[in-house]
Copies of this chain bind each other. A is one copy, B any other.
Amino acid sequence: MTTGPSEEPAPHRVRRDVQRNLDTLLTAAADVFAAEGVDAPVRRITEKAGVGSGTLYRHFPQRSDLIVAVFRREIDACVDAATALSAQYEPLEALTLWLGCLAEFFATKRGFKTALHSGDPAYENLPAYFMERFGPVVEGLLTAADASGDIRADITPYDLLRTMANLVDPEDSAYTRHMITLIVNGLRYRSGS
């Protein structure tokens, strides 16, 4: 029996099964939140994730911790998508497609705006995180499309984000897509003036 360094357990590395559980939980929670809202019973989430309720509470002692984690995860995913889209598509196409991602984000976050306005201090960092992450992304996409001459980027990232938040109809993605087209066209038409 030889004892090499590889046999020593790395105590501070996150155990792989733990990380898997965490991922499963976040995915399940995101699904349940999208389907039933953030007030859905905890049991629904744990059942979907196939874990005991204690596991959820170990990772997210407060319900708001879970909600925040889900939101951040989806915000991050949406941000990452922008990079991928920018690499694959022309600037205007990338912008349009990414607005579709953003619409998806809003459509599945029925409780997002309510949570933000709940006054619960657990959510107080969320709006800032939202703008910190999405602001530069929108800025980048607009600037790129402007540089390519496709649009005139005369809208602030903040205004574009807010407009998107308010036009999305979670029950009618066709409508939402139509509205996105309208907005992009609005930016494009102005580019010729």
Contacts and interface: CB of A to CB of B under 8 A. Distances in A.
A162 B113 CA distance: 19
A165 to B, nearest CB: 8
Contacts of A179: 166
Interface in A68-124: 110, 113-114, 117
A7 interface: yes
Contact of A167 (B3, B37, B39, B166): B166
Contacts of A146: none
B171 A168 contact: no
Interface string A159-192: 0001001111101100100010000000000000
Given A1-B1, A37-B114, 16 more contacts: A1-B2, A1-B7, A3-B7, A39-B39, A110-B114, A113-B169, A113-B171, A117-B171, A162-B169, A162-B172, A162-B175, A165-B169, A166-B166, A166-B167, A166-B169, A166-B179
Contacts of A39: 39
Contacts of A169: 113, 162, 165-166
Give 10 closest A-B pairs by Cβ, nearest first: A117-B171, A166-B167, A166-B169, A1-B1, A3-B7, A166-B166, A1-B7, A167-B167, A162-B175, A162-B169
